[in-house]
Chain A
């Protein structure tokens, strides 16, 4: 966990996966997100940081339209996934969520077996033609979730019986199983101990080779460790967005600097 390594995080230019333009979000009368413009690159880990209530989780939930489940929430502006507006009427939010997977703050395995947890998405979307294919998907996903070796002998055991860190990796495997293009993570380590956190962070770094990962975190060390791009949110505004190294060592905006130094120093 050496903070000095953050300078080494590679910043290759990748194609833009998600582009948000002038996004505003309202909860009833309160204006939660104000004119946010951000471009999220493919095969890159993008971290959203900022104080509690700054709107980073709200913005994350806009990216796969999870905010649709909240009645009073309204989203204005454009969010383009591969150039296509995800808030367009023709887009089915259910299909969208299969493409943009999500991992939540608290591990939330279903009260089913480990196997059924991972097979849940593929079954719903009909990704496997037969049992053998499904078995393959489950194994591949669990391997990507870096949990295969720990659970391969007890795939029939309930997912709720695993430890917190294992549960979170199971949830990541479950999200990966539907072959998403983007993986959204809402403070995935906040309920985990340091060892489990380290395992999940390592996993996030590996996932970067295949997916675009967006992670909301309260820990600036974590953002520095795992991300290549960092966005700093404050009171619903996107204050600064840029390469992680630059944000942490040479921020342009005084608010970013005071937040980072206030926490790290």
Chain B
């Protein structure tokens, strides 16, 4: 039975469980709802959950485990000498899978009967041509070992699916029956449902955490592979970034890190003053009407996709800077070679970060108690003296936290630098030269035709992990500072 129908059936069964459970509970109290321990719908949910949750859990695990199980069984059937010199067992297995799926598809579309599909090896038919007709592309002719393995694959899958349907159906019916039999007016269905909700919440929380752990681990393994192929001293302490897919590349992170930090620095130099002043104006000076109008408007900036900022850098800011500083420009100097430069990317990224800084700072400034302002005004201080000498010092730790969060966003930003900063890795203090960043190099090392066994590709993971550690450190520091500050007024 297709999985879709299996799930639909489960849903139908649990819906029936809901109504059945509710009715039985009411009946057990002789129609008097006040006599029940819980509201009737809790009994319904209890039966519905018992029918649905174990069955769907088993289904999910089965769907994940079955391919792995079959894979190991079938790959054991392929003799080592059947794997061609230039290939790997993995590639052969993907052929096996494709042939097996192609045969299933052929049966489904009516090109072959189920019997013909089973005996396709003896019919002398050109399997590759048949697959081609259905849009399943194969690298070369289907060898007999692959065909045998594919048939075994089909058989195992079929048995597996049947077994899965039976197990899931049994679990669902069993759960239904068990919960239904327990439904009685004294049964504490409400508490059971409460625990189910708790389990759901825990599941959601642990999924998020496990995903993070999974991401870090996958990066860690690939990074380990990279350091197996390339020396770590060159990566961390070298001075040149020159990937060469013929080998012998120099892959140092330092020029990229320099570009990243330089661009982030310019971005913060733009975003922090503008964002902070905007926040001070909005929270301390603006009237309610201006504030309710200007704040959402400023926050629209935060909703613009970064790729649009990238376009802005590429089409507007870059050419405008080139008009000033490049050859034949208004200033008559020749400091800039093209439109892409550190300054272009930094300026646009700064604009992107303004709402981020202003909205965080605004919250922090608003958290400073009004009593502080009253105290200062009551001593005869003016508004700006109050802001400068009382509100700002009180809000400073929080604002530092906000700036650090903005910095970690700047370091991790990709699209703007891909489009605005250029692609040349170098150390230079001139903001009008184009440079490149860690994120852009990750993109360029992983796009296109890549070989996941070469250091030139794997370096992307080492770069990614370094970036991750960098931004994580900044975030932790920022959160620590913000939290410490919060305690002060509670």
Interface residues of A (CB under 8 A from B): 64, 66, 69, 71, 94-99, 101-102, 104, 106, 108-112, 120-121, 124-125, 160, 171, 174-175, 178
Contact = CB atoms under 8 A, between A and B. Distances in A.
A165 B2 CA distance: 75
Given A97-B377, A98-B380, A160-B488, A111 B393 contact: yes
A133 to B, nearest CB: 18
Interface class of chain B by DSSP: helix
A111 B371 contact: no
Contacts of A109: 375
B369 interface: yes
B291 to A, nearest CB: 12
Contacts of A102: 374, 378-379
Given A97-B377, A171-B375, 16 more contacts: A66-B374, A71-B287, A71-B288, A94-B381, A97-B379, A97-B380, A99-B380, A104-B371, A108-B369, A108-B371, A110-B393, A110-B394, A111-B393, A124-B379, A174-B379, A175-B379
B371 A178 contact: no
B378 A175 contact: yes
A125 B288 CA distance: 31
A171 to B, nearest CB: 7
Interface residues of B, number: 21
Contacts of B394: 110-111
B390 interface: yes
Interface in B244-289: 287-288
B385 interface: yes
Most buried by B among A104, A110, A171, A175: A110
Contact of A97 (B288, B369, B378): B378
A76 B378 CA distance: 21
Interface string B369-389: 101111111111110010001
Given A112-B393, A120-B389, A94 B378 contact: no
10 contacts: A69-B377, A97-B378, A98-B380, A110-B372, A111-B393, A111-B488, A120-B389, A121-B380, A124-B385, A160-B488
Nearest to A98: B380
Given A104-B371, A106-B371, A160-B488, A94 B390 contact: no
Contacts of B377: 66, 69, 97
Contact of B374 (A71, A94, A98, A104): A104
A99 to B, nearest CB: 8
Contacts of B488: 111, 160
Contacts of B393: 110-112
Nearest to A171: B375
Nearest to B368: A111
Contacts of B374: 66, 69, 102, 104, 108
B378 A104 contact: yes
Nearest to B375: A108
